[in-house]
Structure 1
Amino acid sequence: MTPADTRSEVAAEFAAWLTAFLPADYYGERYRHYRWDLGLRRDYQRAAFEAGWLQPTWPPEHGGRSLGLREAMEIRLEAALRSAPKLPNIAGPNVVAPAIRQFGTPEQIDRLLVPLLRGDEWWALGMSEPEAGSDFAGLRTRAELDAPDSTVFRVNGHKIWTTQAHLSRWCTLYARTDPAAPKHRGISCLILDLNSPGVTITPIRMASISDETFCEIFLDDVEIPVTNLLGPYHGGWQVALSSLRHERQMIWIMNWVEIHRGLDSIRRMRERACLHANTPSGAVQMRTLADEVTTGEDIFAELGSLLADAEALRATGYRALHNELAGRPAPEADILKLLGSVTLQRVWELSAVAAGPDSVADPDLLFERQDALAATIYGGTSEIQRNIIGERVLGLPKG
């Protein structure tokens, strides 16, 4: 963790602002309640936008302070370390907003960006499809013009794993607009009003507790105005890559903090277990745990390995930032997502081992383990990340 006395002035200013915003008992026993408090999370996003902390590198009218990348990373780390409220619609500010700001027309930016950043209008990402899975370039949803001078696209297709679509007003919909083009070309990004005729949204039943419900979107002759094209015609691949790059920069910071939170829980469990082992009943429980793990040292060995991986993740994140500031390629960015998500899963599985039989009856631990399972899926599956690393970093031929 970063010592408080090494923070920059702007990070310290943000920390003071966050402390003033949060309820006085936020870090106490009611934290579990606040973690799910949608009202608080909405208020936090709006307040962060108005104070310029939401997108620190952007100008004030877009929720920022025109800061540099280094200062922005310090603010994001500070927010994560202090368990700042989770944005209620993460895809909006972290994925869609950068795309609109970079590729949007002046009219699109003027109409859509501020309501998105304030949290007044939620957004979904129309990327994954049943037949394509993690192969984004294999999407089959079609957007066609009835004539070269047509003013609307006619869209037919099916999207899946579309987070919060049932609560969202808008969706960045990726569709194939040139079926004859190579796989990674001929895709366009369209801004879809989810209230449009022909759009059917069906939430997917979840096996775990979550505030980010997955949905299916069915598109039956949906008309989208040509003016809702985001970025170049047939240029949706570049829009998607740029959007996901912003998301993955946030993911490694989130994963790093969650890893440390899990490691802290493991240490607390081991400390309690050692104290309890001094009692007669405690000795029996320690023997039960020893049946599951060869020796207590096995847990500490894995704990040490995870601590090293956590610090490797942080160092790699800083190295990627340093290269970006220097204008050099940053291959480390492709590694961060994979290392962070795999390490996060290992942490919470070790936490379950450290808890022993008590883990079965601990709903919070069950939630953390289930939530960590998604880490190797969202923002690009680990399988796709390994392909990217093999091809772009190691120069291996495509499989």
Structure 2
Amino acid sequence: MSTLVAEFGAWLREFLPADYYERYRVYRWDIPLRRDYQRAAFEAGWLQPTWPREHGGRSLGLRDAMEIRIEAALRSAPKLPNIAGPGVAAPGIRKFGTPEQIDRLLVPLLRGDEWWALGMSEPEAGSDFAGLRTRAERDGDIFRVNGHKIWTTQAHLSRWCTLYARTDPDAPKHRGISCLILDLHSPGVRIEPIRMASISDETFCEVFLDDVEIPVANLLGPYNGGWNVALSSLQHERQMIWIMNWVEIKRGLNSIKGTADADIYTELGTLLADAEALRATGYRALNNELAERPCPEADTMKLLGSVTLQRVWELSAAAAGTASTADPDLLFERQDALAATIYGGTSEVQRNIIAERVLGLPKG
């Protein structure tokens, strides 16, 4: 264990309540605790380890940052209450934002004082991000926006939204999109939470936009350059997703060990190998990034991690037999794993991306 990882572990132990692990089922949903964790991590420089201190980091290298994130996941550190903010919006603002946007928005976002939503998915586009229909028409010093977003996590709790809209209907689909910073308190914005069968604090919403005015100064990145803003912003999230999936896979596998069923043990061995393949791929991606080489592993890690996670919890239920139906933790993990192949890019979309952009296969 490196000195940095040990330092982070000591800081985390000091932060967490004494009974955190005994009452983890309760604390995992404790929003005030998760808010406090985000603010404390920001102030201590553990929130975004590669960034400078004023932005919640320590100017660390990528390898050290990944080890700290792995350690946080292994120790079941509290999850950030608004992952779309630090996980997606912040990297985009820091890379593409104007000095004024960075000064106004970044620190309140990172501290957790202002929550953010991600306005990408639409009812008619599904997983086809480039097929979005929300329109933003330039009118002097504003964009006039009309459209409909769906599956917008925590929009009802957020102040801001990175909204992707079509600004050039005549351009090729990927090139006519811009990213706008939307104040969700603006006139013309209507937010409707979507009731879910599952129990979760991360409520999905529909967002309706009726002649919403967004200042041109709120354009994030180049005009018609929203596709690249989205890809860059989501890359940060996917780097975190593989770590979370790997740790959850290991935890699920540990719950299965000890069974005497030969078939289950055979599948357990396969899943253990897949878990190590995921970790090795994560480190290979890191080495490519450090060497500034192309990094096609991001999409393969997302696909392998999410599919393996589902298989692990299905096997865990099979090993538990009928007792699995009476175990609320196991039921939750199985249900939660089902979403892993959807959030951050569906498995179907990931397979298409891998086929077309990594393997160079023809479409169709």
TM-score (norm 1): 0.90
CA distance in 1, matches of 2:254, 2:28: 18
1:27 Cα deviation from its structure 2 partner: 1.5
Q: Name the aligned partner's letter for residue 181 of structure 1.
A: A
Q: Does 1:111 align with 2:111?
A: no
Summarize the alignment of residues 310-325 of structure 1 with structure 2, pairs less than 5 Å apart.
310-325=275-290
User: Which residue pairs with 2:14 in the alignment?
Assistant: 20
- Alignment RMSD: 0.9
Taking the aligned partners of 2:310 and 2:117, their CA distance within structure 1 comes to 26
Q: Distance in 1 between matches of 2:135 and 2:301?
A: 33
Q: How do 1:226-245 residues align onto structure 2 when only pairs under 5 Å count?
A: 226-245=216-235
Aligned to 2:86: 93
Name the counterpart of 2:183.
Answer: 193
SS at match of 1:129: coil
Higher Cα Rg, which structure: 1
Tell me by how many angstroms 1:360 deviates.
1.4
Q: Please give the alpha-carbon distance, in whole angstroms, between the structure 2 residues aligned to 1:41 and 1:211.
A: 12
> How big is each residue's C-alpha offset from its partner over 1:131-184, in whole Å with a ceiling of 9 and x where there is no partner?
0000000000000023xxx01111000000100111111000000000000010
Structure 1 equivalent of residue 264 of structure 2: 299
Looking at structure 2, the residues matched to 109 and 333 of structure 1 have their Cα atoms a distance apart, in angstroms, of: 27
**Aligned partner of residue 197 in structure 1, secondary structure:** coil
Query: For the residues of structure 2 that align with 1:319 and 1:165, how far apart are their CA atoms?
Result: 36
CA deviations on 1:270-328 (whole Å, 9 max, x unpaired) are 3xxx6xxxxxxxxxxxxxxxxxxxxx101111111111100000000001101111121
Partner of 1:376: 341
Query: Could you tell me how far 1:230 is from its partner in structure 2?
Result: 0.4
Correspondent of 1:343 among 308, 320, 327: 308
Q: How does 1:197-346 map to 2 (within 5 A)?
A: 197-267=187-257, 270=259, 296-346=261-311
- Report what 1:285 is aligned to: none
Determine which of 64, 79, 82 is the counterpart of 2:57.
64
Take 1:183 and 1:330, find their aligned partners in 2: how far apart are those partners?
Answer: 24
CA distance in 2, matches of 1:228, 1:252: 32
Shift of 1:334: 2.0
Structure 1 stretches lacking a partner, 5+ long: 1-6, 275-295
Alignment: residue pair count: 364
Asked whether 1:355 is paired with 2:345, we answer no
**Which of 324, 329, 353 lines up with 1:364 in the alignment?**
329
- Once the two structures are TM-superposed, the CA of residue 58 in structure 1 deviates from its matched residue by 0.3
Partner of 2:135 in structure 1?
A: 142
For 1:249, what is the secondary structure of its paired residue?
helix
**Amino acid aligned to 1:229:** L
Could you list the runs of 4 or more consecutive aligned residues of structure 1 that deviate by over 3 angstroms after TM superposition? none
Q: CA deviation at 1:398?
A: 2.1
Equivalent of 1:73, from 66, 79, 83?
A: 66
1:75 Cα deviation after fit: 0.4
Q: Does 1:392 align with 2:357?
A: yes
Which amino acid in the other structure matches residue 53 of structure 1? W
3-state SS of 2:179 partner: strand
Distance 1:327 1:154 in 2: 39
Identity of counterpart residues, as a percentage?
Answer: 85
